[in-house]
Amino acid sequence: MEERIAELRRLAEREISAAPSLDALERLRIKLFGRKGGAFTELTKSVATLPVEARPLNGRLLNEAKNSVTNLLETRHRELSRALATGPTAPQIDTTFPGRRPHIGRRHPLTLTMDLLCDVFLRMGFQVRQGPEIETDYHNFEALNMPPDHPARDMQDTFYIADDKVLRTHTSPVQIRTMLAERPPIQMIAPGRVFRRDSDLSHSPVFHQVEGLMADRGIHMGHLKGILQRFVEDVFGTGLALRFRPSFFPFVEPGAEGDMQCVACRGAGCGVCGGSGWVEILGAGMVHPRVFENVGYDPKKITGFAFGIGVERIAMLLHNVGNIRLFYENDMRFLEQF
C-alpha cells in the first residue's frame, strides 16, 4: 500500500508538471480527484479496507500525497494562466487599431444661441447684468409702470409664488435692478430664463430672453433702430430688413414690436412666416419717463431705449426648427445636430 501511494504521487507530479494547457490540467485533475474513478479517490477507499493497525500510517501518507499534489495543481494552473495572458499565444493587441471614441458632450442649441446673441451685443459695448428668476411684484411689474390692475398680471400669464413673488415673466426687471444700483451711462444686456403660463408650438412655459437697455443723455430711437438692425445682420447675415410696428408695453413710450424679414423665404412668404414674409423677434421702445422716475433718474435729462429679444424664436429661425418643444425634450438625435 505504501508503495502504491508513493507511486501515484510520483506519477501525478510528473504529469502535472508536463501538462501543456489548462484543459489538459483540468482533465488531469479529474483523473486524480474525480469523485468517480479518480485515482486518489479510489486509493482512499482502499485505505479504509486495510486492517485497523495499518490504517493510521497509510492514511497519513495518503493525505500528505493529496496535499502536495493539490498544491502542485494550483501552482501549475497559475503558471499556465500567466503564460496565456502574456505568451506568444496571448490575444494580440493591435496598437494601430482606432480606439473607441469617447462621447463628447456639446453645448445645447439654446445656450449656443444665447452665447451668440451676447457676443453680438458685447462687441457693441453692452455689458451683461443678471437678476433673480423669482422676482418681487415690484421689480417685475410695479416699477415697470404696470399698476396692480394691469392685464399683464393676469393669472393666465403669471406664475405666482406668493402674493408679492412671481417667477419673472420677462427679463425687464433686470433693467430696474441695474438702474437702481448704477448711474447712467448704462448699456447692458440681461440674458436669462423667464416663465409664463403659455404652451403651444411656438410657446413654452419656460423660455429665454435677452433684455437690452441703454440709458444716457441724448439717446433716441435712431440708436435703437441702428443697434437692432446691426444685431440682425450679425446674427443672420446681411440683406434682411428689420421693421418696427407700433405696439404697447407699459414701460416704454413709444413702444414697438420688431419683425425681421423671414429667413426661410427672405420676404416672399412661406410656411415659417405664415405667408407674411415677416417674423416677430422682439419688443422694444423708448424707456417710459415714469420708469426713470421710479429708479430716481431725471427723465428730463436722461433718455433711453430698451428691447427684449426672444431667444427661442431666434434659434428656431437660425436652424429652421418648427417646434419649440424640441429644445426641451433633450432627444439626442435632435441635440447632436448642433
Residues 225-254 within binding reach of ligand PHE (CB under 6 A)? 249, 252
Residue with smaller CB distance to ligand PHE, 25 or 317:
317
CB 260 within 8 A of CB 240: yes
Hunting for cell 419656460 — which residue is that?
Answer: 206
CB 107 within 8 A of CB 115: yes
**Which residues, numbered 119-178, are part of the site for ligand PHE (CB under 6 A)?**
170, 172
Across the strands, what pairs with 189? Answer: 128, 212
Q: Is 47 in the site for ligand PHE (CB under 6 A)?
A: no
Query: Does 281 interact with ligand PHE (rule: CB under 6 A)?
Result: no
Q: Which of 28, 284, 291, 315 binds ligand PHE (CB under 6 A)?
A: 284
The residue type of 237 is: G
DSSP string, 256-277: EEEEEE-TTTTTS--TTTTTSS
Secondary structure E strands in 94-164: 127-128, 134-136, 160-162
What is the CA angle 78-82-83, rounded to 5? 120
Which span sits near ligand PHE by CB under 6 A: 2-10, 54-62, 129-137, 304-312?
A: 304-312
Least distance to ligand PHE, CB of residue 246, Å = 12
Per CB under 6 A, which region of 70-78, 112-120, 217-225, 280-288 contacts ligand PHE? 280-288
Tell me if 306 contacts ligand PHE by CB under 6 A.
yes
Is 114 an interacting residue with respect to ligand PHE (CB under 6 A)? Answer: no
Phi, psi of 214 (to 5 degrees): -130, 125
Among 285, 303, 304, 314, binds ligand PHE (CB under 6 A): 285
Rounded Cα gap, residues 256 and 246, in angstroms: 4
- Can you give the binding site for ligand PHE, defined by CB under 6 A? 170, 172, 249, 252, 255, 283-285, 306-308
